[in-house]
């Protein structure tokens, strides 16, 4: 199972928006509506941000939104804030109760 | 509140085995899958597999088949991940994490650094 492909880094100024892509195949991202996203600060454990492609757990700001088209899922952060500077990982269900993570994207707030 | 507390850092020689524990609290232990995910230094997250504490059923990622064993002790709400035949590239932080909402992982342990060094 190959890792899902994410851009290595994205950046934007405060208040702007960034979109992180997560590209897989029809066996994972494209085959199921079970993509989740995680935020990770350096030296910390990941934090659960999005599930089922676009649903937000309670407590996650509505600046974070998810979507999917074909084999590519996306996470958009609107109204970027300094605290959003972190690494972001997607994860997809890949059938047979297995999962695969993305390669990770570093978000930089300029 | 949900907590997953992992055992401390380990240093192992190549070829040895390591067993990492993850003690759960704040919820019904047998009600949720526990996943193991690792992160090599400066690298991304890698899913290793899961165990369901209810009956001990497991499912391992293909990359780890034959080298990883996940077990649980319901009497102390603890799951274990044992990785054998350690190689230098197994050096990583190993996280346990609780499933819950759909196919996502909601809660994460603090991570355990396993260093493989001669």
pLDDT in tens, B53-87: 999 999 999 999 999 999 999 999 999 999 999 99
| Contacts (Cβ under 8 Å, ≥6 apart) of A110 | A11, A12, A13, A14
Q: Which residue has the tokens 């970027």?
A: A80
pLDDT given at position A41: 96
Interface test with B, best of A1, A45, A49 (most B CBs within 10 A): A45
Bridge partner list, B44 = none
DSSP string, B27-62: S-GGGS-EEEEEE-TT--EEEEEEE-TTT--EEE-G
Q: What is the pLDDT of residue B14?
A: 97
Cα B68 to Cα A79: distance, rounded to the nearest angstrom: 43
The Cα of A17 is separated from the nearest Cα of chain B by a number of Å equal to 23
Q: Which residues, in sequence order, are CB contacts of B16 under 8 Å at separation 6+?
A: B86, B116
Q: Counting Cβ atoms within 10 Å, is residue A102 exposed (0-12), middle (13-18) or buried (19+)?
A: buried
Cα separation, A20 vs A86, whole angstroms: 12
Closest alpha carbon within chain B to A104: B44
**What is the C-alpha to C-alpha distance for residues B86 and B12, in angstroms, rounded to an integer?**
8
Query: Could you tell me the pLDDT band of residue B100, with boundaries at 50, 70 and 90?
Result: confident
pLDDT tens, residue by residue, A3-24: 999 999 999 999 999 999 999 9
Average pLDDT of span B21-42: 96
Of B63, B102, B108, the CB nearest to A46: B108
Q: Which residues of B touch A (CB under 8 A)?
A: 35, 37, 44-47, 50, 59, 61-63, 95, 97, 101-111
pLDDT single digits (tens) A28-82: 999 999 999 999 999 999 999 999 999 999 999 999 999 999 999 999 999 999 9
Rounded to whole angstroms, how far apart are CA atoms A4 and A92? 8
CA nearest A87 in B: which residue? B44
The chain-wide mean pLDDT, for chain B, equals 96
Q: b/e string for B95-112 if b means 16 or more Cβ within 10 A?
A: bbbbbbeebbbbbbbebb
How many Å apart are CA B107 and CA B29, to the nearest integer? Answer: 13
Whether residues B102 and A34 touch (CB distance < 8 A) is answered with: yes
């Amino acid at each position: 199972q190959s890792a899902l492909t994410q851009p290595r880094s994205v950046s934007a100024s405060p208040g702007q928006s960034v979109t992180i892509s997560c590209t897989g195949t029809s066996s994972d991202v494209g085959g199921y509506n079970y993509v989740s996203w995680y935020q990770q600060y350096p030296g910390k454990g990941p934090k659960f941000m999005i599930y089922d492609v676009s649903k937000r757990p309670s407590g996650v700001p509505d600046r974070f939104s998810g979507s999917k088209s074909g084999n590519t899922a996306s996470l958009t952060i609107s109204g970027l804030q300094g605290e959003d500077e972190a690494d972001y990982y997607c994860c997809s269900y890949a059938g047979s109760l297995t999962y695969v993570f993305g390669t990770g994207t570093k978000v930089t707030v300029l | 509140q949900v907590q997953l507390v992992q055992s401390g850092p380990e240093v192992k020689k190549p070829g040895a085995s390591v067993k990492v524990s993850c003690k759960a609290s704040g919820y019904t232990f047998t009600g949720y899958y526990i996943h193991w995910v690792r992160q090599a230094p400066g690298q991304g997250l890698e899913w290793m597999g899961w165990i369901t504490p209810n009956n001990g059923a497991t499912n391992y990622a293909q990359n780890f088949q034959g080298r990883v064993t996940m077990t649980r002790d319901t009497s102390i709400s603890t799951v274990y991940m044992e990785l054998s035949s350690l190689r230098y590239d197994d050096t990583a932080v190993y996280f346990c994490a609780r499933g819950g909402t759909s196919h996502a992982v909601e809660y994460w342990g603090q991570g355990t650094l396993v260093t493989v060094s001669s």
